[in-house]
């Protein structure tokens, strides 16, 4: 397995505004942050605080109006369209609504990101390995509709890992799941981080999930209002204590 | 409810406008395209009516004379009068005239060929050496015909030119076989072997005869060819440089002319003049014959045989109208040789040939002339006793019909016939001493027989021209709807292949001087029908009782082909057939149809020729009008189907887009019929708006495309748009009304039941198409209809062309409507392609989140475009192949067969359909990069 520590992410002065009728809403307002390679960072905040927008900007599916995003010394915000697509191939994305292709089997959904690049490796084998890694061995031929929400999210995670990403962006990955399944998904992500070496940036509003991350960045009205390193002087296993301390 | 509908439409303005545009395109397309088919139909019927105003509408021939070939192919050969000598009685003619509706009934009685000498001018002036006192100019002739392809040398003729005085026999006064009076007032002994010939007066006062070999040396006159005829003419070179001769020797003036500035020899060519009898009054009404008279007078209804006494006998003179054009392609070329110092004077007739042929000569140039030149020169002499034009009727030859055989390639081959027996042209005992035409010895296509004239040794029958008419001044008709008028027009036979065209020098083959030849010249002599019994009286010709060969009938109030005219003519034709029992053909609406004829090689060098002759195809106009009606109906239905499908697609897509909304309404307690009514209400409102807009659009579009769109058709757009909208909206409205709310709230794209692992982009494209079968089928169906439409249109055009081509009118009509047909077909396919583009666009809209996901996982825009492109290609292939199959089925039904050309067209159409679909897919593919990926992912 890949033992690299993951990507370093640096955002500087990011601004993103949307037009809503005659008004301009600022979704991200001068956000700067640095994320160390291999860390698991939780983005928290109320609905509309800018969590998803920030993730999309780092994942290059949303353009910044101002500011820069640099991932592993590559300034993402300066990339042109083709380079952006190549960049996105190295980033894993997990969505709250899974966004699986309903007509494809589980295995084919996992292969889907590399489908246009056939011939560059044994994709079905790797997809099966990833499905086994997310606990779905034997369900390769199932259709998404035949899976539970947690299983669908696992398929989405396996799909995100298909391109061997060094950066995994997860937008409310447990938002549609019950707490037990949500906890299992997070276990899976952390395990994958340990095994594959990735930086994970996840947006969540569940304190139990955020509390298990290395770092917590709280957003409000598009601004970073709190940035806490949860690993300093704490027992990483004591989730309850962390959550209490962070008023989650 | 109306308020709600209005708010719905206004609230989703973009979608409403899209649907409105869809209805507008379909409705305007319908109005303009149906306008195009109507315009095309009107153009065709107009062309047909204009082009079928012909000289006559019905052709009546003797019973049993319609050949099997004509009956089998629905044709009338251009030379239908050939070999047709009588068969219709005057009583039957009267019956035809009495039929109600007959405007003109013009009879024609073919009588036969009178061999007539045409004095063809041959200028020898340049060959004369004026310094010589006596010289002979030898003329070595070559007879040429049929564009120079047939040629044969003739016996040399001689012109003796002397400066000595010449005296001439006075043939107009009584003479016997003991002495002949001469122009010097004296009589000279008659010489049996010399005949009454000019005598040269020598300086010592003696005179010597210049014998005419034709008088006694050749034997039975009238049974030899003009190639074997020869003679010696005497010309005096006067001190003033002019030439003097006996009448008939020099050309360029009337037959009494005896002096001329130039020595132009009148070389008599034997030409068969075809004699026919017509009713002058009927002919005037049919074709304006009297109006075309350029000299003398027209023949009159009371013209008949004039008898004058001539010594012990009587001359029976038939007044005729002579044509100004000879129609015969025949020429004479001559090599001239001067024999200085030679004199035939005093040489006995028996020694003449030896004496003259044995004399060495000096080449003195060449000369040439044509029958047409001779005919012109003859006419130039003016009508009259001393001028033009007269000919014998002692021997009248009737050449028979042409019998055709089929060649394996479908062309016609006239059966070869041996030359007609020489004695049919004339003999001494029949009183016709003229040599037969040189081409009479050629192989021919017709048998010959004599016209059975009365045998009266004391009567000499002749024709005399009382007038001359110019065929070019007869009433003209369209070439496209021309009926056979061989009375006045020569047959047209052009080379059908490169070899024949090259042989003919790019010119058509024209009738030769062979009465048995394949091509017959029109009658050069027309006489009054009433004089025929008088001419034949005492003979045994069957034409005594049934003189008429054919009757050309024009029906009242018919001015070209229309369905009404056709019915009138049919009724008249039926009545004529019923009353007379004759063969009756309706020629109204016929058109010249080219047929290939293989003419066997001639005996005088003409090679075998492949010729194209225009026969008259009967019923062309009705076939065209019926075919255009069928085609118009087919196009109309196709356009309607495509427009409904296009609209159905647009409405269905609009309803599909609103499924969640409709589900919410259902959840809120709206009954199904209200939901259905809402959809139909929206579609109706849009249909009405689109219809009104279409009225405004149809006019400028029609004007731009040169399509007649009248107010009624334009206003038709409103009900059509409403009806189309309702028909197209009914199915989706019913589906929306019946759907369970929960089902409607599910994502619009259902999962595929059939799952196959996509191993490539085309595979994934296929999965995407399979997962939304309804929409895929709708899109493919639209294209299929487009392709099927184009194939069926091609088939309809093919069938249309098949029904009408092969005739000049059909070819012209076919060309004139090709543009309109092509436009309708292309517009239909474009509508189909637009439907496919619509499907692909909606597909992208429905799957926007999926595409956004793929992009988020690293798919490039290029990969996404390829995916959409493959979807378009597959959709196109499905639609094109289905359409091609449907189209071929329709085509097979329409045409009754599947000719290779149609298969080729279908393959091309299917390929073009796929190509157009791929191009159509470019539009939605180009919009991919505008997908709001982040918003789509967040919304979902």
Among B213, B207, B214, CA closest to B189:
B207
Q: Is the pLDDT of residue A13 over 70?
A: yes
* Interface contact A233, partner B, CB < 8 A: no
Q: Which is higher by pLDDT, B161 or B29? A: B161
Is residue B723 assigned to a domain?
yes
Average pLDDT for residues A128-145, to the nearest whole number?
A: 87
* Interface contact A160, partner B, CB < 8 A: yes
C-alpha to C-alpha distance for B286 and A16, rounded to whole angstroms:
94
Supply the pLDDT for residue B237.
93
Instruction: Give, for A35, the enclosing helix (H) or strand (E).
Output: strand A23-35
Domain shared by B351 and B449, yes or no: no
Average pLDDT for residues B589-608, to the nearest whole number?
A: 88
Average pLDDT for residues B76-84, to the nearest whole number?
A: 74
Q: Is the pLDDT of residue A110 over 70?
A: yes
Name the percent of chain B lying above pLDDT 70: 81
Q: Which residue has the tokens 């206003």?
A: B715
Average pLDDT for residues B148-177, to the nearest whole number?
A: 86
- Which range, B144-153, B262-271, B886-895, is most confident? B144-153
The length of chain A in residues reads: 248
Is residue B291 assigned to a domain?
no
Per-residue pLDDT of B653-668, as tens digits, reads 667 666 667 766 666 6
Domain shared by B180 and B145, yes or no: yes
Q: Do A91 and B858 touch (CB under 8 A)?
A: yes
* Interface contact B224, partner A, CB < 8 A: no
3-state secondary structure of B288: coil
Q: Which of A101-105, B277-281, B402-406, B571-575 has the lowest mean pLDDT?
A: A101-105
Name the percent of chain B lying above pLDDT 90: 25
* Interface contact A25, partner B, CB < 8 A: no
Supply the pLDDT for residue B737.
67
Supply the pLDDT for residue B894.
67
Characterise A69 by phi-psi region: left (phi > 0), alpha (psi -120 to 50), beta (else).
Answer: beta
Is residue B300 assigned to a domain?
no
Q: Which of B357, B384, B411 is the last residue of a domain?
A: B384
Domain shared by B213 and B101, yes or no: no
Is residue B237 assigned to a domain?
yes
Q: Is the pLDDT of residue B755 over 60?
A: no
> CB burial class (10 A; 0-12, 13-18, 19+) of residue B67?
middle
Q: A160 CA to chain B: closest CA distance, Å?
A: 7
- Which range, A120-134, B315-329, B754-768, is most confident? B315-329
**Residue B621 φ/ψ, nearest 5 degrees:** -60, -45
CB pairs under 8 A between A and B: 104
Q: Do A145 and B768 touch (CB under 8 A)?
A: no
Average pLDDT for residues B373-385, to the nearest whole number?
A: 85
Average pLDDT for residues B591-618, to the nearest whole number?
A: 87
Supply the pLDDT for residue A2.
43
* Interface contact B933, partner A, CB < 8 A: yes
Neighbours of B125 (CB within 10 A): 16
Range of the structural domain that residue B924 is part of: 2-49+622-939
Q: Is the pLDDT of residue B88 over 90?
A: yes
Among B179, B180, B120, CA closest to B144:
B120
Supply the pLDDT for residue B752.
46
* Interface contact B671, partner A, CB < 8 A: no
* Interface contact B853, partner A, CB < 8 A: yes
| Token representation of residue B288 | 């304006």
Domain shared by B21 and B99, yes or no: no
Supply the pLDDT for residue A199.
93
Among A85, A112, A118, CA closest to B764:
A112
Chain B environment of A108 (Cβ under 8 Å): 757-758
Domain shared by B458 and B601, yes or no: yes
C-alpha to C-alpha distance for B51 and B561, rounded to whole angstroms:
8
Q: Which of B618, B646, B674 is the last residue of a domain?
A: B618
Is residue B472 assigned to a domain?
yes
Residues of chain A with CATH 3.40.50.300: 1-90+166-248
Q: Do A112 and B857 touch (CB under 8 A)?
A: yes
Average pLDDT for residues B26-52, to the nearest whole number?
A: 72
Q: Which of B314-328, B456-470, B803-817 has the lowest mean pLDDT?
A: B803-817
Q: Which is higher by pLDDT, B323 or B783? A: B323
- A83: CB partners within 8 A, 6+ apart: none
Is residue B298 assigned to a domain?
no
Q: Do B934 and A171 touch (CB under 8 A)?
A: no
Question: pLDDT band at residue B748, thresholds of 50, 70 and 90?
Answer: very low
Domain shared by B759 and B836, yes or no: yes
Is residue B162 assigned to a domain?
yes
Is residue B317 assigned to a domain?
no
Supply the pLDDT for residue A28.
92
Q: Is the pLDDT of residue A1 over 50?
A: no
Average pLDDT for residues B858-871, to the nearest whole number?
A: 84
Q: Is the dihedral of CA A73, A79, A85, A91 positive or negative?
A: positive
Domain shared by B411 and B519, yes or no: yes
**DSSP 8-state class, residue B426:** -
Supply the pLDDT for residue B745.
46
Domain shared by B366 and B441, yes or no: no
In this predicted complex, what is the ipTM? 0.75
Q: Distance of CA B330 to CAs B123, B270, B343, B501, Å?
A: 17, 10, 32, 19
Chain A environment of B854 (Cβ under 8 Å): 101, 112-113
Domain shared by B561 and B678, yes or no: no
Angle subtended by helix axes B861-895 and B761-771, to nearest 10: 60
Mean pLDDT taken over chain B: 81
Per-residue pLDDT of A186-217, as tens digits, reads 888 888 888 888 999 999 888 888 888 989 99
Q: Which of B199-213, B363-377, B422-436 has the lowest mean pLDDT?
A: B422-436
Q: Is the pLDDT of residue B205 over 60?
A: yes
Q: What is the total count of domains within chain B?
A: 3
- To the question of domain A1-90+166-248 being in CATH 3.40.50.300, the answer is yes
Domain shared by B369 and B424, yes or no: no
SS3 string, B536-590, reads: HCCCCCHHHCCCECEEEEEECCCCCCCHHHHHHHHHHHHHHHHHHCCEEEECCCC
Q: Is the pLDDT of residue B142 over 90?
A: yes
Q: Which residue has the tokens 């056979």?
A: B484
User: How, if at all, do strands A66-71 and B591-599 pair?
Assistant: unpaired
Question: pLDDT band at residue B572, thresholds of 50, 70 and 90?
Answer: very high
Neighbours of B755 (CB within 10 A): 16
CA closest to A100 among chain B residues? B850
Supply the pLDDT for residue A115.
79
Supply the pLDDT for residue B228.
87
Q: What is the pTM of this model?
A: 0.63
Domain shared by B485 and B546, yes or no: yes
Supply the pLDDT for residue B940.
42
SS3 string, B471-529, reads: HHHCCCCCCCCCCCCCCCCCCCEEECCHHHHHHCCCCCECCCCCCCCCCCCCCCEEEEH
Q: Is the pLDDT of residue B639 over 80?
A: no
Q: Which is higher by pLDDT, B482 or B469? A: B469
Per-residue pLDDT of A75-86, as tens digits, reads 998 988 778 878
* Interface contact A52, partner B, CB < 8 A: yes
Average pLDDT for residues B75-98, to the nearest whole number?
A: 85
Q: Is the pLDDT of residue B177 over 80?
A: no
Average pLDDT for residues B634-650, to the nearest whole number?
A: 71
Supply the pLDDT for residue B618.
72
Contact B392, B434 (CB under 8 A): yes
Supply the pLDDT for residue A81.
75
Average pLDDT for residues B68-82, to the nearest whole number?
A: 74
Supply the pLDDT for residue B703.
75
| Token representation of residue B280 | 């002058």
Q: Which of B618, B642, B667 is the last residue of a domain?
A: B618
Q: Is the dihedral of CA B834, B840, B843, B849 positive or negative?
A: negative
Q: Which of A103-117, B247-261, B360-374 has the lowest mean pLDDT?
A: B247-261
Question: pLDDT band at residue B822, thresholds of 50, 70 and 90?
Answer: low
Per-residue pLDDT of A35-51, as tens digits, reads 999 999 999 998 888 99
**DSSP 8-state class, residue B751:** P
Supply the pLDDT for residue B356.
86
Q: Is the dihedral of CA B728, B734, B739, B744 positive or negative?
A: positive
Chain A environment of B852 (Cβ under 8 Å): 61, 99
Q: Is the pLDDT of residue B514 over 50?
A: yes
Chain A environment of B861 (Cβ under 8 Å): 81, 85
Supply the pLDDT for residue B749.
45
* Interface contact A152, partner B, CB < 8 A: no
Q: Do A102 and B747 touch (CB under 8 A)?
A: yes
Contact B573, B58 (CB under 8 A): yes
Supply the pLDDT for residue B739.
60
Supply the pLDDT for residue B740.
56
Contact A239, A212 (CB under 8 A): yes
Give buried/exposed letters for B25-43 (b at 16+ CB in 10 A, else e): bbbbbbbbbbbbbbbbbeb
Substitution target from A61, A97, A130 for chain B, most B beta carbons within 10 A: A61
> CB burial class (10 A; 0-12, 13-18, 19+) of residue B21?
middle
Average pLDDT for residues B259-265, to the nearest whole number?
A: 88
Domain shared by B749 and B895, yes or no: yes
């Amino acid at each position: 397995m890949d033992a690299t520590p993951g990507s370093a992410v640096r955002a500087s002065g990011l601004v993103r505004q949307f037009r809503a009728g005659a008004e301009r809403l600022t979704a991200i307002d001068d956000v700067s942050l640095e994320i160390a390679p291999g860390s698991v960072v939780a983005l928290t905040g109320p609905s509309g605080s800018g969590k998803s927008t920030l993730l999309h900007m780092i994942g290059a599916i949303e353009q910044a109006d101002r500011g820069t995003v640099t991932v592993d010394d590559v300034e993402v915000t300066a990339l042109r369209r083709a380079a952006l697509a190549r960049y996105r191939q190295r980033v894993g994305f997990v969505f709250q609504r899974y966004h699986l292709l309903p007509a494809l089997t589980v295995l084919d959904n996992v292969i889907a990101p590399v489908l246009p690049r056939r011939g560059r490796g044994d994709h079905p084998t790797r997809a099966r390995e990833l499905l086994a890694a997310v606990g779905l061995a034997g369900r390769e031929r199932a259709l998404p509709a035949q899976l539970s929400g947690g299983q669908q999210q696992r398929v989405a995670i396996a799909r995100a890992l298909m391109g061997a990403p060094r950066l995994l962006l997860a937008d409310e990955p447990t938002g549609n799941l019950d707490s037990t399944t949500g906890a299992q998904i997070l276990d899976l992500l952390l395990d994958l981080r340990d095994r594959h070496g990735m930086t994970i940036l996840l947006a969540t509003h569940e304190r139990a999930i955020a509390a298990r991350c290395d770092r917590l960045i709280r957003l409000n009205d598009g601004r970073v209002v709190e940035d806490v390193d949860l690993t300093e002087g704490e027992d990483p296993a004591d989730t309850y204590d962390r959550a209490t301390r962070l008023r989650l | 409810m109306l308020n709600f509908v209005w708010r719905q439409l206004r609230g989703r303005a973009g979608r409403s406008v899209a649907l409105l545009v869809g209805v507008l395109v379909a409705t305007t397309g319908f109005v303009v395209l149906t306008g195009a088919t109507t315009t095309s139909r009107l153009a065709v019927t107009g062309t047909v009516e204009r082009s079928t105003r012909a000289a006559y509408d019905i052709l009546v021939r003797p019973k049993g004379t319609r050949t099997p070939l004509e009956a089998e192919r629905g044709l009338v050969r251009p030379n239908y009068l050939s070999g047709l000598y009588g068969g219709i009685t005057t009583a039957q003619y009267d019956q035809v005239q009495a039929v109600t509706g007959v405007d003109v009934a013009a009879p024609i009685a073919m009588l036969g060929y009178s061999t007539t000498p045409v004095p063809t001018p041959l200028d020898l002036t340049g060959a004369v050496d004026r310094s010589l006192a006596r010289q002979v100019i030898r003329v070595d002739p070559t007879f040429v015909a049929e564009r120079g392809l047939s040629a044969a040398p003739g016996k040399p003729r001689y012109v003796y030119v002397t400066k000595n005085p010449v005296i001439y026999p006075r043939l107009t006064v009584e003479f016997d076989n003991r002495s002949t009076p001469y122009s010097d007032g004296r009589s000279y002994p008659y010489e049996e072997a010399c005949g009454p010939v000019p005598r040269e007066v020598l300086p010592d006062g003696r005179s010597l005869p210049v014998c005419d070999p034709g008088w006694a040396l050749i034997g039975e006159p009238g049974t030899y060819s003009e190639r074997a005829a020869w003679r010696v003419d005497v010309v005096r070179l006067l001190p003033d440089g002019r030439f003097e001769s006996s009448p008939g020797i020099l050309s360029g003036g009337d037959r009494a002319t005896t002096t001329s500035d130039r020595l132009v020899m009148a070389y008599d060519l034997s030409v068969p003049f075809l004699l026919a009898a017509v009713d002058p009054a009927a002919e005037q009404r049919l074709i304006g014959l009297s109006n075309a008279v350029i000299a003398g007078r027209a023949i009159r209804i009371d013209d008949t045989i004039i008898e004058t006494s001539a010594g012990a006998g009587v001359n029976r003179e038939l007044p005729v109208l002579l044509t100004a054009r000879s129609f015969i392609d025949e020429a004479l070329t001559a090599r001239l040789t001067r024999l200085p110092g030679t004199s035939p004077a005093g040489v006995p007739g028996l020694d003449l040939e030896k004496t003259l042929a044995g004399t060495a000569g000096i080449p003195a140039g060449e000369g040439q002339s044509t029958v047409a030149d001779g005919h012109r020169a003859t006419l130039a002499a003016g009508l009259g006793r001393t001028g033009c034009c007269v000919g014998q009727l002692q021997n009248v030859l009737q050449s028979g019909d042409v019998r055709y055989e089929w060649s394996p390639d479908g062309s016609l081959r006239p059966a070869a016939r041996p030359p007609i027996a020489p004695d049919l042209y004339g003999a001494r005992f029949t009183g016709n001493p003229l040599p037969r035409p040189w081409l009479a010895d050629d192989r021919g296509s017709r048998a010959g027989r004599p016209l059975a004239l009365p045998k009266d040794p004391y009567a000499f029958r002749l024709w005399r021209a009382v007038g001359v008419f110019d065929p070019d001044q007869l009433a003209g008709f369209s070439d496209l709807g021309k009926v056979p008028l061989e009375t006045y027009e020569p047959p047209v036979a052009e080379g059908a292949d490169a070899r024949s065209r090259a042989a003919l020098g790019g010119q058509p083959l024209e009738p030769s001087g062979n009465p048995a030849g394949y091509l017959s010249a029109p009658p050069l002599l027309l006489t009054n029908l009433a004089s025929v019994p008088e001419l034949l009286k005492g003979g045994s010709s069957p034409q005594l009782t049934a003189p008429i060969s054919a009757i050309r009938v024009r029906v009242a109030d018919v001015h070209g082909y229309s369905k009404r005219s056709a019915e009138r003519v049919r009724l008249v034709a039926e009545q004529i057939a019923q009353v007379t029992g004759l063969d009756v053909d309706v020629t109204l609406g016929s058109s010249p149809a080219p047929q290939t004829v293989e003419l066997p090689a001639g005996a005088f060098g003409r090679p075998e020729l492949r010729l194209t002759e225009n026969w008259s195809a009967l019923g062309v106009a009705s076939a065209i009008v019926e075919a255009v009606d069928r085609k118009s109906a087919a196009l109309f239905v196709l356009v309607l189907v495509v427009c409904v499908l296009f609209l159905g697609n647009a409405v269905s897509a609009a309803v599909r887009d609103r499924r969640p909304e409709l589900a919410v309404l259902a959840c809120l307690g709206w009954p199904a019929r209200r939901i259905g009514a809402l959809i139909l209400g929206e579609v109706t409102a849009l249909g009405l708006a689109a219809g009104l807009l279409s009225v405004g659009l149809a006019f400028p579009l029609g004007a731009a495309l040169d399509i007649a769109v009248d107010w009624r058709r334009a206003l038709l757009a409103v009900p059509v748009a409403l009806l189309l909208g309702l028909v197209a909206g009914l199915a989706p409205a019913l589906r929306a009304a019946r759907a369970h709310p929960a089902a409607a709230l599910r994502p619009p794209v259902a999962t595929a039941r059939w799952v196959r692992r996509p191993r490539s982009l085309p595979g994934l494209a296929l999965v995407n198409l399979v997962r939304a079968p309804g929409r895929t089928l709708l899109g493919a169906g639209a294209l299929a209809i487009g392709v099927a439409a184009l194939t069926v249109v091609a088939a309809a055009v093919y069938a249309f062309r098949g029904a009408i081509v092969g005739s000049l009118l059909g070819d012209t009509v076919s060309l004139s409507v090709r543009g309109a047909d092509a436009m309708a077909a292309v517009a239909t396919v474009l509508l189909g392609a637009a439907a496919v583009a619509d499907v692909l666009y909606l597909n992208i809209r429905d799957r926007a989140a999926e595409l956004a996901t793929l992009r988020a996982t690293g798919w490039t825009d290029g990969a996404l475009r390829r995916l959409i492109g493959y979807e378009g290609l597959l959709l196109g292939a499905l639609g094109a192949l289905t359409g091609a199959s449907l189209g071929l089925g329709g085509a097979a039904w329409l045409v009754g067969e599947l000719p290779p050309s149609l298969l080729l067209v279908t393959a091309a159409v299917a390929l073009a359909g796929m190509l157009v679909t791929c191009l159509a897919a470019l539009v939605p593919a180009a919009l991919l990069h505008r997908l709001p990926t982040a918003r789509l992912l967040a919304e979902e």
